[in-house]
Each structure stands twice: as structure tokens, then as C-alpha cells.
Chain A
């Protein structure tokens, strides 16, 4: 067990190192940050001064070490446009994104699980075909297009839903949340549903596949033979076994949801980190872009690590090396 965790930890650190190299060299070497600071009248001595100030005259590996050193202290530089540390901006915007992502996750499970169970119980029924068709559409249709149609239908044509922003928020434990005000919920509904669709499709497929597998296993047959009610078999015996893969996949996908939140936040002007990234790209706010990318990569690697470890606790075959 310890060996497994140590191995995964080492691997995660390696991935992190590779990603920081990629992001640092990509953003700072391919582009030239000097021109962002330099005004149009800046002549050669003035340019040299900026280069020295930014430390760009030093060898590139030395710059990288400074960058990593600062990173370890949680310092990713100041945002050009906001003039405050980039990390503080991310912490400020993160609750909005997390709120959106968690709500999407809840919607995906609340809708996807029952639909998947229904499709798994009667795979040839016409309702199952509709459910599976829906899951294929939700997988393949681009998320931004679905958001767009929702805005056209529910905001522009019907006027039921607001298309922009977060609405009223209340402060809970020092964090502003939309979830607990009526106006906030009203604003949250469309973006959260849009973001949930891909996960929902995934939950439907996994649940259906799990149902097909588990329903024909011996222990279900014995449970039936014992006269246990069908509803109890479903909710207790079947559910417990199909939930393991679903939880794993959702855990690994959560990082993807945060990445996809960039799209949804841009469409619905949701003031989270994703919208911040797109705004930062538009004005070339390099430190903020780097901070976001590093932050998402760290979060993603950490999530993957956590899911793997949790999975190995739940399923001993993994850590004993039977699977690979």
C-alpha cells in the first residue's frame, strides 16, 4: 500500500515538473514579455533596462529556477491588468467556479443515475433508446452550442432565465455563494445544467453498463432467490457495486469539468476563474495566464492522485498489482 502510494506520488511530481517546464518555457520563451512592458517610444537602452528588471538577461534555466522557487512559495507574480498578485485573483474567483462545477456534478448524478438504471433494466425498450440517443447527443454536441440554444430559448425568446452573471450572493463561511438565494439559483440553473451534460452522458453510460453486468451476477440471483424485494436489491446490492466505477470516473473527470467551465463561464458571463482566463488571454496578462494554467494542472494532478489512492483503498486488486 505504502509502496503504491509512494510510486503514484513520485509519478505525480514528475508530471508536475514536466508541466511547469512546458508552461514556463512556452509562455516566457516563445512569446517575448518585454514588448508588453515597453511603450512604443522605448529605445534600446530603455528595452535593456526592462530586460534587466525582469531578469531576462540571465540564463534561461536560472529564470526557471527563480520561477519554481517563487511557485513553491505560492507567488506567481502580479497580474498586469489588476496590479495584484495573480494567485489572490484566482482564490477570489475560484468559489464561483467550484460552485458551478459542484452543482453540475450533483445535477449529472441526480438525472444520470435514474436514467442509466432505467436504460439498464430494459435495454430494448423504446425509452432506453431515447435515453441512449440523448447520451450520445450530449457527448458529441459542443457544449457552447447547447448553452447558446438555452440562452436563445429561455432568455431571449421566453424571458424566463437570466443569461448573464451570478445574481445575488450570500456570504457563507467567508465565501460568496449564489446557491442560497433565489435570484442566485435562478442565475445558476442554466450554466450548471449546461456544464453537467457531458458528465450526465457519462453517468448514464456507466450506470447502464454496470447494470447489465451486475444484474446477471450470482449474488443478485441469490438475493432474488432469498426473496429480497426487487427495490431493495436495486438500491442496495446493485447500486453499491456500480457506484465504484462511477465515483472513480467522476473524480478523474472533475478536473475536466473545471477546464470545461472555461467554455460555460464565457457563454454565461459567470465570474469564475475560466472567464478570468479568457479575459486575461484577450489582454495578454501573462502572469495571470501562467498562474491559471499552473493552478489547474496542480489541481488536476492532485485530483488524479487522490482518486487513484481512494480507488486502491476501495478495490484491493489495484494496489496488489493484479490489474496492470
Chain B
């Protein structure tokens, strides 16, 4: 793989090494584009798909390229309720990325603290925390998320909670592993010799050296979270129908698939695919360039 190449010729800078892979550059461009769309979405979307006053049921199920009776173009067609697919997808990207990012950041924070504490304290604290992590990881993520959402019901906050619960253990295990290696280094001994406080050593010295690994795992986990959210929403378990994410848009279009109205499902699906694949390629490339022995 390309990781071997990076070994053979140590790159002058991580950023330049990263840019050497055309696939990674393309993935970065695609992913950044989606992030931009997510941020400025409300200003570029032709209509607000949540505002029922702007949605006309008479315009339902129009194929891409049609026009509404007021002359507004539907570049990507409309869904079963007459929503403009382009607008619905822009808002869907917003929600999917929001859920992925929010759950990723919270899980990262929780996992990092648990991992650092386990590595630094060692002993029974480490044993207990890692047993819990092992237990959590022995259950398939979809099963845990399914149980939690069946109990909690639908909602943005609930799906973020469920995603945090299934993700924190990955971060905890990874951070612990890296932190264990780092705590054995000389600079930590030096910091201990200076009688610096445990918190300062943990967060000021060990944590910065765990960051590359955390970045790689966070990218991969975010892709997995977006994929899982889409799957759960597709099953009708994730987000409420009033705030359709990409998964829910695909589910809505599923009913029309058999009649050949492909665009309602396929277009949001392609966007979802582009987000997930680009995030994975990014994570892969980051791992190769930052090379945090995963």
C-alpha cells in the first residue's frame, strides 16, 4: 500500500505527503464541498423543505428537470409530498453531517478522557475501564443502537446519544493504547521529574502526542456514524420525519422505487455514498501519512 512508500521516502511535511495521493485530494475536495453546502445550506437551497407553505403537494413526484406551475425549476425533481429534492438533500446533508460530527466529537471527548485516565492510572482503574470497553465492543454497533433507539424513540438528541454510546469505546481503546506508549517515553519521565501535576502531564504532554491517532480514528468513526445514522433512519428509528436526513429521504423514496421513480431514493443515496466514501479515503490517507501504527 501507499503507506510503504511513505516509509521509504520520509516526506518533508505531512501536508505535502498527504497531497501526493490524487484520490485523497479528490476526497478532501468532495468532503469539504459537502461541509460548505451544509453550512450555507439555508441560503442556497431553492426552498425550505420544512416550511409547508413553500411545498406544493400538486408538484409531487415530478422527475428531475421539471418546473412547478409557478415556473420554479426542480433541477432534481420532487418527492411524494412535492418537496424540491435539491433543497431536501441540502438540508439532509446538514443533518447527516451535524449528527456525525456531534456524536463523533462527544464520543471522542468521552473516549479520550477514559483512555487517558486508564493509561495513566493503570491498576484496577485500567482493568475495570477496559473490561467495560471490551464488553461494549463485543456487541455489534447496530444491535446496541437499535436497542437504545427502540427504548428512547426518535429525535436528533436521541440518535446522537445512541451513536456516542456505540462509539466512545473505540476512542477509549485507541487513546489508551497510544497513551501507554507515550507515557513510557522520556519526556513524560522528565515532566514527572519536574513534579508537574498529573492533569498537566496528561493533557499538556501526553494528549498532544495522541492527536494524530485520534484524528485518524475520528475521521473513520464519523463516516461509520453517518452510515449508521442513515441505516437507522432508513428503518424509521433515527430521526423524526419532520427533519429528514439523507437516510430518511432514501427511505421515503423506497416506496416509489418499484414504479420507476428512481430519483427520490437514488440521488440522496449517491450523496450519502460520496460523503461516506470520501471520509473513508481521507481517513485511510491520514493513517498512511501520519502513520500512527493502527
Give A contacts to B, CB under 8 Å: 15, 22-23, 26-27, 30-31, 136-137, 140-145, 148-149, 151-152, 155-156, 163, 252-253, 255-256, 259-260, 262-263, 266-267, 278, 281-282, 289, 293, 296-297, 300, 304
Q: Are B146 and A262 in contact (CB under 8 A)?
A: yes
| Residues of chain B with a CB closer than 8 A to A278's CB | 235-236
Contact B254 A148 (CB under 8 A): yes
Q: Is B179 an interface residue (CB 8 A)?
A: no
Is A143 a contact of B146 with CB atoms below 8 Å?
Answer: no
**Nearest CB on A from B48, distance (A):** 27
User: Chain A residue with minimal CB distance to B254?
Assistant: A148
Closest to B266 in A: A152
Per the bound structure, the CA–CA distance linking A149 and B277 in Å amounts to: 16
Chain B residue numbers with a CB within 8 Å of A163 are 258
Task: Please count how many residues in chain B sit with their CB below 8 Å of the partner chain's CB atoms.
Answer: 38
The chain A residue sitting closest to B224, CB to CB, is A140
The answer to whether B273 touches A15 (Cβ under 8 A) is: no
Residue B260 CB within 8 A of the other chain? yes
Q: Is there contact, CB below 8 Å, between A256 and B143?
A: yes
Known: A152-B262, A263-B235, A278-B236. Is A27-B151 also a contact (CB below 8 A)?
A: yes
The 6 A-B pairs of least Cβ separation, nearest first, read: A256-B140, A26-B151, A259-B143, A140-B280, A142-B227, A144-B234
B245 within 8 Å of A by Cβ?
no
Main secondary structure of the interface of B (DSSP, over half): helix
A30 contacts B257, CB within 8 Å?
no
What 0/1 readout, one digit per residue, does chain B (250-273) give for beta carbons within 8 Å of chain A? 100010011010100110010011
* Bound Cα distance from A27 to B273, whole angstroms: 34
Across the interface, do B257 and A144 meet the contact criterion of CB distance under 8 Å?
Answer: no
Bound CA span A300–B269, Å: 31
- CB contact list, B220-263 vs A, under 8 A: 223-224, 227, 230-231, 234-237, 247, 250, 254, 257-258, 260, 262
A30 in contact with B250 given A156-B258, A156-B260 (CB within 8 Å): no
Q: How many A-B residue pairs have CB under 8 A?
A: 105
- A121–B224 alpha-carbon span in the complex (Å): 30
Which residues of chain A are near B276, meaning CB under 8 Å? 140-142
Contact B138 A252 (CB under 8 A): yes
Contact residue among B140, B148, B231, B254 (Cβ-Cβ distance under 8 Å from A143): B231
7 additional contacts, CB 8 Å, given A163-B258, A259-B146, A293-B150? A145-B230, A256-B140, A256-B142, A259-B140, A263-B142, A300-B143, A304-B138
Tell me the minimal C-beta distance from B4 to chain A in angstroms.
9
- Residues of chain A within 8 A of B36, CB atoms compared: none
Residues of chain B with a CB closer than 8 A to A27's CB: 150-151
B201 to chain A, nearest CB (A): 28
Q: Are A144 and B231 in contact (CB under 8 A)?
A: yes
In chain A, what residue has the closest Cβ to B253? A148
Contacts of A145 in B (CB 8 A): 230, 250, 269, 272-273
